Amino acid sequence: MYFCSHLKHKAIYVDVRNSTSVEFLIKCIELEYSNMTISIVVNSAGILHEITPVVNLADETFNDVISTNLKGTFLVTKEAVKHMLARNVTGAAIVNIASILGKGGFPGLSAYTASKGGVVAFTKAVAVELATRGIRVNAILPGLTNTPMIRKYGNDTIRERLAKMIPLQRIAEPLEISETIVFMCSVKASYMTGSTVDVAGGSML
């Protein structure tokens, strides 16, 4: 982002399903940026599963999706908030990437829908808990977006059919999602907490 281009960036591998890995991530950040504090967290790790009737959905698939999408959001939030509270960080923002499917169902995506619905509920609970500490927690609910994850599970024909189900008649581009996240993390959204923001082209209104 242009507003932090002067900072040194670092990519760190983390398995958000594993508490030890997440703890290591926060320790690495604290060591690498010892003169700074964590003030923005975007929980973006997520996986999708193939459209599968619930009677055929494997336990392993369900567990993997919940562990990554919901438990991962919990673990990263937990460790980041520990850091913030220990350093009396105020004005911080956490944005959880849920999904428009967190508002309702879609045939064959029961595990994914459950995980994102859980993220929405988790966001609201933690927002209330942390409001008095000056930490805002919100969720963004993107619709179908042109990402590698979506391309992995469908060809152009399938995506075109899905696009026709969206009131704006197209899928989102990643920048349309990220610009909203930037706003939610900024001081311009300083009175927003516990909110869910739909960026889904009019889906599920």
Helix H, strand E, coil C: the string for 121-171 is HHHHHHHHHHHHHCEEEEEEEECCECCHHHHHCCCHHHHHHHHCCCCCCCC
pLDDT of residue 4: 58
> pTM for the whole thing?
0.92
Q: Is 2-199 a CATH 3.40.50.720 domain?
A: yes
Task: Report the relative pairing of strands 40-43 and 135-142 from DSSP bridges.
Answer: unpaired
Which amino acid is residue 1, in one-letter code? M
pLDDT band at 8 (very low <50, low <70, confident <90, very high): confident
> Taking the CB of residue 41, how many other CB atoms lie within 10 A of it?
22
Instruction: Kindly state the percentage of the chain with pLDDT values over 90.
Output: 84
Active site residues: 112
CB 101 within 8 A of CB 51: no
pLDDT of residue 6 exceeding 70: no
Q: Let me know: does 159 contact 170? Beta carbons within 8 Å.
A: no
Say how many Å lie between the first and final Cα of the chain, rounded. 31
For residue 74, is pLDDT > 70? yes
Mean pLDDT over the full length of the chain: 94
pLDDT given at position 5: 60
Residue bearing the bigger pLDDT, 7 or 70: 70
The letter for the amino acid at 180 is T
- What burial class does residue 24 get, using C-beta atoms within 10 Å of its C-beta: 0-12 exposed, 13-18 middle, 19+ buried? middle
Residue 10 has pLDDT above 90, yes or no: no
Q: pLDDT tens for residues 75-131? A: 999 999 999 999 999 999 999 999 999 998 889 999 999 999 999 999 999 999 999
pLDDT in tens, 152-201: 766 677 778 888 999 999 999 999 999 999 999 999 999 999 999 999 99
Q: Are 203 and 145 in contact (CB under 8 A)?
A: no
Q: Could you read off the pLDDT of 46-57 as tens digits, one per residue?
A: 999 999 999 999
Which pLDDT score, from 0 to 100, does residue 159 have?
79
pLDDT, position 44: 97
Amino acid at 155: N
Integer angstrom CA distances of residue 86 from 5, 69, 81, 89, 187: 27, 26, 8, 8, 22
